[in-house]
């Protein structure tokens, strides 16, 4: 399958954007002082674990999408030579 240049760049940027957003989210989750992520004893709550799993899944999917976009951009550059 051949990806167009705009689609390849979109996928590459989307993968990077996913990392930026979810790294920020995990940092904020880790510092949570509202009592949602950690209980009074400082132990992680179910909210923490569910959102950490969501972030890890998004990291993996964002990486996969970014790799597909990168490979598409690289293939188009090789083809242009």
pLDDT at residue 78 in the model: 87
Q: What is the pLDDT of residue 80?
A: 73
Burial 9-45 (b: 16+ CB within 10 A, else e): bebbeebbebeeebeeebeebeeeeeeebbeeeeeee
| pLDDT bucket at 33, cuts 50 / 70 / 90 | confident
* Separation of alpha carbons 64 and 45, rounded Å: 29
Is the per-residue pLDDT at 81 higher than 90?
Answer: no
Answer whether 0.75 is exceeded by the pTM. Answer: yes
């Amino acid at each position: 399958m051949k990806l167009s240049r705009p689609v390849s760049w979109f996928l590459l940027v989307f993968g990077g954007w996913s990392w930026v957003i979810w790294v920020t989210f995990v940092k904020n989750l880790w510092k949570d002082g509202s009592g949602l992520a950690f209980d009074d004893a400082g132990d992680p709550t179910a909210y923490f674990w569910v959102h950490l799993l969501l972030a890890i899944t998004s990291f993996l999917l964002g990486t996969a999408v970014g790799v597909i976009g990168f490979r598409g951009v690289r293939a188009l550059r090789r083809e242009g030579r």
